Structure 1
Amino acid sequence: MAAKTKAQDIIDNNAVAVFSKSYCPYCKATKQLLSEMGAKAYYIELDQVDDGAAIQDALEEMTHQRSVPNIFIDKKHIGGNSDLQGKKKQLPELLKAAQAV
């Protein structure tokens, strides 16, 4: 339960929240794209925090997505890297609406 609360707090308190793993190539691609867009994003590396596995379980329960990256913009679940890359054209507007740039 604590993991779900922590995940929700991260989502609620950050315009862009990315649940990631440090070694994941899709996570790296997501971070690169958000960086190129000038996004102020909060990244949590689930493989580097003690409760990472529990947070990943909580995210799966919340979003029905187990994989990383698990991306939220303006408290809305975007999906993974391919979903984010597919929204490249709308991304500047999404980030502006979330006040993440």
Structure 2
Amino acid sequence: MVSAKEKAQKIIDENGVVVFSKSYCPYCRSSKALLNDLHAKYFLMELDEVDDGAALQDALEEITGQRSVPNIFISQKHIGGNSDLQAKKSQLNGLLKTAGAI
């Protein structure tokens, strides 16, 4: 059986842009809105809607040192959370192009 850490890493490795989110989180909504406004393609995992969400969140903390959501990756690099993504607004088009997301 695949561990939560292996599963999270596989998702990160196989997708240009990944947002680990919770459906009710306002910061997650803000990040998704920004990416949607840019018409970015991204892999979305709502941790509160999957059976292993808690385990994945623990695994993400191991991988990144960040426990909070959203937990965002672009081109397999950990970007951080919503404030980190918003702070990169000016570079986002370039980052998303490099990731093949737009």
For normalisation by structure 2, the TM-score amounts to 0.97
1:9 paired residue number: 10
Partner of 1:24: 25
Q: Percent identity?
A: 68
Aligned residue runs from structure 1 range 21-60, under 5 A: 21-60=22-61
Is 1:95 paired with 2:96?
yes
Q: Which structure 2 segments of 5+ residues have no match?
A: none
- Aligned length in residues: 101
Alignment of structure 1 residues 73-88 onto 2, 5 Å: 73-88=74-89
Alpha-carbon deviation of 1:75? 0.2
Return structure 1 stretches of 4+ with deviation > 2 angstroms: none
Provide the aligned C-alpha RMSD in A: 0.7
SS in 2 for 1:99: coil
CA distance in 1, matches of 2:53, 2:82: 19
Q: 1:24 is aligned with what amino acid? A: C
Corresponding residue SS for 2:90:
coil
For 1:64, the aligned partner's letter is G
Q: Name the TM-score, length of structure 1 as normaliser.
A: 0.98
Runs (5+) with no aligned partner, structure 1: none
Q: State the one-letter code of the partner of 1:15.
A: G
- SS at structure 1 position matched to 2:48: coil
How much has 1:38 moved relative to structure 2?
Answer: 1.2
Aligned counterparts of 1:6 and 1:39: Cα–Cα separation in 2? 23
Letter in 2 for 1:30: S
